[in-house]
Amino acid sequence: MPHVSNGAEKSKILIVDDATENIDILYSLLKTDYRVSAAKSGVAGLKMAIQHQPDVILLDIMMPEMDGYEVCRIIKETEETKNIPVIFVTAKTQAMDEARAFSLGAVDYITKPFVPIVVKARVKTHIALKRKNDMLEELVSLDGLTNIFNRRKFDGQLVREWRKAQRQTESLSVIFIDIDHFKHFNDTYGHACGDECLQQVAAGLATRLKRPEDFIARYGGEEFVIILPRTDLEGVTHIGESLIETVWALGVPHETSETADVVTISAGAATTVPTPSTGSPIELVKYADKMLYESKKNGRNRLTAVSI
């Protein structure tokens, strides 16, 4: 199920600076209140930003090979990191340097030598703003009826997971799910009962997803979609079949179903190992949808899966 942070866990800060002395000073200043990690180059900083998803990045400007301006530009152009606040901490004190930093998307600009209490206050402020923005983003990403994620959130999540699987050369799977004969259910029991059915099915499906990275959304109407990172054909088949069993076990009566006397689902799954030269997230979705059609054609209340 979607989770909105309650603020109890420590926020994460990434320091990107080629000078060990600067890293040590900032680390000592912030380690009590935050989980602090550091990178000594722009390239390493970009990699860590994607992998660790810090709440704030403290970024130096003057670094060899790739300076802080370039790092900031890439951070703001990358889907996985574009919403992470960047605070420049630098010895460059000219107004034109500060203006350039803000034009690239930085949220603050601190000059060296800095005042420790001011750095702590600014970091605290930007982390608080980030948490509020994250909560708002998650709230607008929820389906109002089922309280799982919505289609809008799914579209963005699929792109992010595709890129991650591509970088790490790992399997990525998608399952499309449709409640069997749901129109008949609404016609028989009414739309209020139909809404309750959708809520029960959504909750049942969500309980079967055990890993934090597993993702479920309401795709529209009586359709649901699930993203399973690091899951191959065998894994997605096992999970898909357990989802079908879970919905059956809910025992929601459906006397006008042509499949069973309780609510059932049909599912289609597709899995692949994304590469830069083959396939796309849209293609993965299309194959999962085709497999859902096959499940319906072959009697419903079943899963059909394919590896592409």
**Model confidence band, residue 304 (pLDDT cutoffs 50, 70, 90):** very high
Q: How far apart are CA 76 and CA 86, in angstroms?
A: 9
pTM for the model stands at 0.75
End-to-end CA distance of the chain: 28
pLDDT at 1 over 60: no
CATH C-level class of 12-139 = alpha beta
pLDDT value for 276: 82
User: Per the residue annotation, which of 222, 223, 255, 258 is the catalytic one?
Assistant: 222
* Number of Cβ within a 10 Å radius of residue 89: 24
CA-nearest of 41, 37, 42 to 52 is 37
Mean pLDDT of 181-189: 96
> In this predicted model, what pLDDT tens digit does every residue of 60-112 receive, in sequence order?
999 998 999 999 999 999 988 999 999 999 999 999 999 999 999 999 999 99
User: Would you state the structure tokens that stand for residue 141, as one six-digit string?
Assistant: 């990403």
Fold category of 151-307 in CATH? Alpha-Beta Plaits (3.30.70)
Task: CATH 3.40.50.2300 in the chain: give the residue spans.
Answer: 12-139
CATH 3.30.70.270: which residues of the chain? Answer: 151-307
Rounded to the nearest integer, the mean pLDDT of the chain is 94
pLDDT at 16: 98
219-264 pLDDT per residue, tens? 999 999 999 999 999 999 999 999 999 999 999 999 999 999 999 9
Output the pLDDT for position 8: 58
Which pLDDT value is given to residue 3?
Answer: 40
CA distance readout (Å), 157 to 37, 64, 168, 214: 25, 34, 16, 11
**pLDDT tens for each residue of 103-147:** 999 999 999 999 999 999 999 999 999 999 988 888 889 999 999
User: By the 8 A CB rule, do 53 and 14 touch?
Assistant: no
Task: For residue 222, indicate whether it is catalytic.
Answer: yes
Q: How many other C-beta atoms are found inside a 10 Å radius of the C-beta of residue 3? A: 7
